[in-house]
C-alpha cells in the first residue's frame, strides 16, 4: 500500500490494523514523516517535528504489547499543551525554548493509550486571535482558522491522523470547518485541562481533530475515559432541532447552500425535523461570551500582561485591556445571566436529541492576517455543550464548508453516534 493510500484510511481503520499487527507503528510514522516532508514547507503546521523521537516510540510499541486505543497512532499536539520532551511556547515569543517539567494530562493520557507524539502544532498567540504562520491545506493563501490552526491543517493534509486542540470561542470547530475535517469539542469539564495554558477558566475546553467522526470519537474516548463514545454503530435516527441561531443573517451564500444540502439529505430520514424554540435570552449569549472571555483572559495572562506587554501582539493587548475594563462585579453578573440559559437549553434537549447549527460564516477567508469570525460558536462554548463539526460540502470557491451538531451537556456519546449517522447520509 502506498503512503497516500495508507494515510487516507483515518485513525479508526488504522487503529484496527495496528491492533491486529497488520501494520507496524514504524511504517505509519514513516508515512506521516514523508507527508510532512512533502507539505510542511508550504503549510507550516508544526512548530517542531520530533522525527527521531517518534520513530523510537514506534519501534518500542512494535516490540511490545498493545498499549491501548491509540496504539501506534501518530498524534499532533497543539503548542498550548505542556510536553516534557518537546518545547512548549504557547504561540508566543515570551516562551521561546520553554521546556515544561511534565506532560499536560491530555498528552499523558494519549501516550498511555499508545499514541506516538509526532510533534507540536502551531497555535495562535495564547490561543487568541493573532495568527501563526500556518496556511490552509486546500488553498495556501487562505487562513486555516484558529486557534488550533496547526492541528486542523495537519490532520487535513494527512500529516497525522489525530491532533489535540482547544476551544475557548471557536478554536476547534472553526479550523475544522475551514480545513475540512471533523472537530470534536467535548462537554465543558469532561477532559482535564491540567498542563494546558489557561486563557479562560470557565470556557477553555480540550478537544481534537480526525478525518471522520469515528476517528474523533476514538481520541475522545481516551481523553474522557468514556468508552461509550465508541458505541456509534447503528444509531437510531435522531430528533433534530434546526438552530440557525439569531446570527443566521450573517451567514454567507456558501453556508446557506450547505444548510439547504443538509435539509435535503437529512430531513426525510430524521425521526423528527423541526425548528428549535430557543430560550428568549439566547441572543445575549454572544456578547456575554465576549465579556466573560476578555475578563478571564486579562487575569489568566496577568504575568504576561505585566511583565512582557511589549512582546504581546496589539490584538492581544487590546483584548486584555477590554478584559480589565470588565469589573469583577460585572463578571459575576454576566455569569449569573448565563446560568439560567444553560438550564433552559438542557430542557430543550427533552424535545430534541441534537441541534443542527452553522459552524462558520462561510469558507475560510482569504489572507493570513486573521483566523475568521468565531460568531457561530461563541454561544455553544459559553453554554458548555458538546459540538461536532461535520465536513461534507464545498463552497463556490472549492474550499470546505459544513455544519455542526450540538448535544446536551454530558451526552457526548450520543452526540457522536448521531454525528456518524448524519455523516453517513450527508456524504454519499
Q: Where in the sequence numbering do the catalytic residues fall?
A: 78, 147, 171
In DSSP notation, 361-408 reads: SSSPPBSSS-----HHHHHHHHHT--EEEEEEEE-TTS-EEEEEEE--
Kindly state the helix (H) or strand (E) to which residue 77 belongs, with its residue range: strand 74-78
Strand order in the sheet with 116-121: 46-49, 116-121, 74-78, 162-167, 205-210, 182-185, 387-394, 400-406, 354-358, 239-242, 272-275
Which three cell numbers, joined as nine digits, stand for 22?
497488520
d(CA 64, CA 420): 33
Query: Quick one: which of 44, 43, 42, 75 has its CA closest to 57?
Result: 75
d(CA 160, CA 315): 31
In DSSP notation, 179-244 reads: HTSEEEEPPTTSS--TTB--S-TTT-EEEEEESSHHHHHHHHHHHH--GGGG--TTPPPPEEEE--
Query: Quick one: which of 385, 387, 281, 408 has its CA closest to 334?
Result: 281
d(CA 51, CA 39): 15
d(CA 90, CA 97): 11
d(CA 276, CA 278): 6
Using only the alpha carbons of the chain, give its radius of gyration.
20
Amino acid at each position: 500500500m502506498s503512503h497516500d493510500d495508507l494515510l487516507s484510511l483515518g485513525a479508526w481503520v488504522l487503529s484496527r490494523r495496528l491492533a491486529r499487527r497488520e501494520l507496524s507503528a514504524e511504517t505509519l510514522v514513516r508515512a506521516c514523516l514523508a507527508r510532512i516532508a512533502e507539505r510542511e514547507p508550504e503549510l507550516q503546521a508544526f512548530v517542531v517535528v520530533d522525527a527521531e523521537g517518534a520513530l523510537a516510540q514506534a519501534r518500542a510499541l512494535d516490540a511490545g504489547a498493545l498499549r491501548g486505543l491509540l496504539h501506534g497512532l501518530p498524534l499532533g499536539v497543539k503548542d498550548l499543551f505542556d510536553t516534557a520532551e518537546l518545547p512548549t511556547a504557547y504561540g508566543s515569543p515570551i516562551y521561546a525554548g520553554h521546556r515544561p517539567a511534565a506532560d499536560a494530562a491530555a498528552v499523558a493520557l494519549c501516550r498511555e493509550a499508545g499514541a506516538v507524539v509526532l510533534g507540536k502544532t502551531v497555535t495562535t498567540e495564547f490561543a487568541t486571535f493573532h495568527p501563526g504562520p500556518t496556511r490552509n491545506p486546500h488553498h495556501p493563501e487562505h487562513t486555516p482558522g484558529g486557534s488550533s490552526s496547526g492541528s486542523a491543517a495537519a490532520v487535513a493534509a494527512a500529516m497525522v491522523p489525530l491532533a489535540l486542540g482547544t476551544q475557548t470561542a471557536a478554536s476547534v470547530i472553526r479550523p475544522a470547518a475551514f480545513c475540512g475535517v471533523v472537530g470534536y469539542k467535548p462537554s465543558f469539564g469532561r477532559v482535564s485541562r491540567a498542563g494546558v495554558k489557561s486563557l479562560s477558566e470557565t470556557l477553555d475546553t480540550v478537544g481534537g481533530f480526525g478525518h471522520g467522526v469515528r476517528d474523533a470519537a476514538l481520541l475522545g474516548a481516551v481523553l474522557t475515559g468514556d468508552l461509550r463514545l465508541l458505541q456509534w454503530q447503528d444509531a437510531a435516527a435522531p430528533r433534530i432541532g434546526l438552530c440557525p441561531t439569531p446570527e443566521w443573517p450573517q451567514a454567507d451564500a456558501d453556508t446557506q447552500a450547505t444548510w439547504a444540502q443538509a435539509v435535503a439529505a437529512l430531513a426525510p430520514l430524521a425521526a423528527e425535523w423541526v425548528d428549535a424554540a430557543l430560550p428568549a435570552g439566547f441572543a445575549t449569549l454572544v456578547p456575554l461570551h465576549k465579556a466573560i472571555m476578555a475578563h478571564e483572559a486579562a487575569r489568566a495572562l496577568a504575568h504576561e500582561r505585566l511583565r512582557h506587554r511589549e512582546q504581546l501582539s496589539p490584538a492581544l493587548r487590546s483584548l486584555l485591556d477590554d478584559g480589565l475594563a470588565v469589573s469583577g462585579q460585572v463578571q459575576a453578573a454576566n455569569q449569573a445571566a448565563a446560568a439560567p440559559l444553560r438550564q433552559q437549553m438542557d430542557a430543550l434537549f427533552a424535545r430534541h436529541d441534537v441541534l443542527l447549527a452553522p459552524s462558520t460564516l462561510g469558507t475560510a477567508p482569504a489572507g493570513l492576517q486573521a483566523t475568521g469570525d468565531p460568531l457561530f460558536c461563541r454561544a455553544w462554548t459559553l453554554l458548555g455543550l458538546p459540538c461536532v463539526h461535520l465536513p461534507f460540502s464545498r463552497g463556490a470557491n472549492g474550499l470546505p464548508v459544513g455544519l455542526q451538531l450540538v448535544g446536551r451537556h454530558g451526552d457526548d456519546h450520543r452526540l457522536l453516534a448521531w454525528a456518524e449517522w448524519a455523516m453517513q447520509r450527508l456524504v454519499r
